[in-house]
Structure 1
Amino acid sequence: MAQILSVRDLHVSYGAIKAVRGISFDINEGEIVSLIGANGAGKSTTLDTIAGLNRPEGGSISFKGEDIVGTKPHKIVERGLALCPEGRRVFTQMSVGENLAMGGYTRTDEENREQVERVYARFPRLRERVAQSAGTLSGGEQQMLAMGRALMSRPDLLMLDEPSMGLAPILVEEIFDIIKELNEQGTTILLVEQNASMALSIAHRGYVLETGTISKTGTGAELLHDDDVRKAYLGG
């Protein structure tokens, strides 16, 4: 498989706080790769930095063979990398349809007409609520909208930050089924998720972050059965 993302010796700080301390990892086309770890481990910081929202102190980020450090976030989206952020961050005063339109700003009108139909096919509830204010949606519906908005740019690599946060168990299963289906249809996924068991169960490979460093790596199955991982993140 061809490599789509390569992160090397990445360092990110917030003032005196070193959030990411020299991590390196790769993602191949067609994979689901999960980053797991406790709160404050550096997971979201890593995704935000890849997406161009943070400027690293050191290290390199290569996407589809090109260095993207210092590239504007909207240019990174144009290259085929999209972030669905933690906390959904939908535009609450705008309608569902308007939120989706915002996600397709890098594409042509014709491409957006085609893609929004794909999004509605994936998330039928969004079609039902197309004119509804995003702020009035349930948590699960807002997560679907955030994912749909990210998909409007037709990403080759979709980064998902805590997609199950605050959702009921039945909705968590639905979201993870959708993630698997997106991957099976060709989208590469980088997944940050507190629900380590669910994340590793669908991941081809995973990385464990602890205080800004990678402490373990392996296949999803290997990490699921690792004693240290089980004790720390899987409830024994």
Structure 2
Amino acid sequence: MLELKDLHVYYGGIHALKGIDIKVNEGEIVTLVGANGSGKTTTLRTISGLETLKSGNILFKGKDLKKVTASEIVKMGISHVPEGRRVFADMSVYENLEIGAFTRKDKSEIEKDIQNIYSLFPILYERKNQSASTLSGGEQQMLAIGRALLSRPELLLLDEPSMGLAPLIVKDIFDIIVDINKKGTTILLVEQNANMALQCANRAYIIKNGKIELEGKASELLNHDEVKNAYLGG
């Protein structure tokens, strides 16, 4: 479904991504694990058209995204849940969800999808008329995921969904990620919580200083000595 070939991205004089190769097959959860500053977020932002590619190719269902705008990428079926949630704080939960469907015109179907999001996240239904600023961190993460799902993506990019959340909430979020995948959405997950990410993913890539260091089945990398020592506390 998604293939990154020899991706090179620069921030000014900084070479942020140094020849990244990643493949995501339809129906998978693939995770990209690495420390802060390793290039995880840059990879997702480049896929969704928010960063400029210096060289290389991003193929989504065989089409190169190099010259496609960010809004067109959403229309093609890729939705991005950014690091830090980025909900619209002064708008209601319902209004935030509506914005997720900005590429769509099918109003009755949008309303059905919003009701489906309320089924997935009942707390959002309870809070639907509250401003997003009143939600807890976990509730804001649920809202950010729900908003992304309103574009009916085939591929969901998730950037650090567990960041700043209590362990119990983290488990809930990962359970929801698995559920979303089972319902047919392919997922590329960027995550510092390597243990949770590797437990829920099919395959994984370990990124370090803008390069892929290791790749393989998530279950195998979970037991890999190098991964254990670097990301799983030995």
| 1:227 alignment counterpart | 225
| 1:69 alignment counterpart | 66
| 2:116 alignment counterpart | 118
* Contact 1:5–1:64 (8 Å) recurs in 2: yes
Helix, strand or coil: the match of 1:190?
A: strand
Matched AA of 2:217: T
Q: RMSD over aligned Cα, in angstroms?
A: 0.6
After TM superposition, the structure 1 = structure 2 runs for residues 82-101 of structure 1, keeping only pairs within 5 Å, are 82-101=79-98
* Contact 1:42–1:209 (8 Å) recurs in 2: yes
1:70 Cα offset (Å): 2.0
1:148 Cα offset (Å): 0.3
| 1:217 alignment counterpart | 215
Helix, strand or coil: the match of 1:144?
A: helix
Matched AA of 1:137: L
2:101 corresponds, among 100, 104, 122, to 104
- Percent identity over the alignment is 57
Any unmatched runs of 5+ in structure 2? Answer: none
Helix, strand or coil: the match of 1:116?
A: helix
Deviations 1:3-27 (A, max 9, x none): x101000001100011100011110
* Contact 1:55–1:70 (8 Å) recurs in 2: no
* Contact 1:88–1:142 (8 Å) recurs in 2: yes
Deviations 1:11-46 (A, max 9, x none): 011000111000111100000000000100000000
| 1:187 alignment counterpart | 185
TM-score (norm. length: structure 1): 0.98
For the residues of structure 1 that align with 2:20 and 2:158, how far apart are their CA atoms? Answer: 19
For the residues of structure 2 that align with 1:110 and 1:213, how far apart are their CA atoms? Answer: 45
* Contact 1:10–1:60 (8 Å) recurs in 2: yes
2:151 corresponds, among 153, 157, 170, to 153
1:110 Cα offset (Å): 2.0
| Number of corresponding residues | 233
TM-score (norm. length: structure 2): 0.99
1:83 Cα offset (Å): 0.3
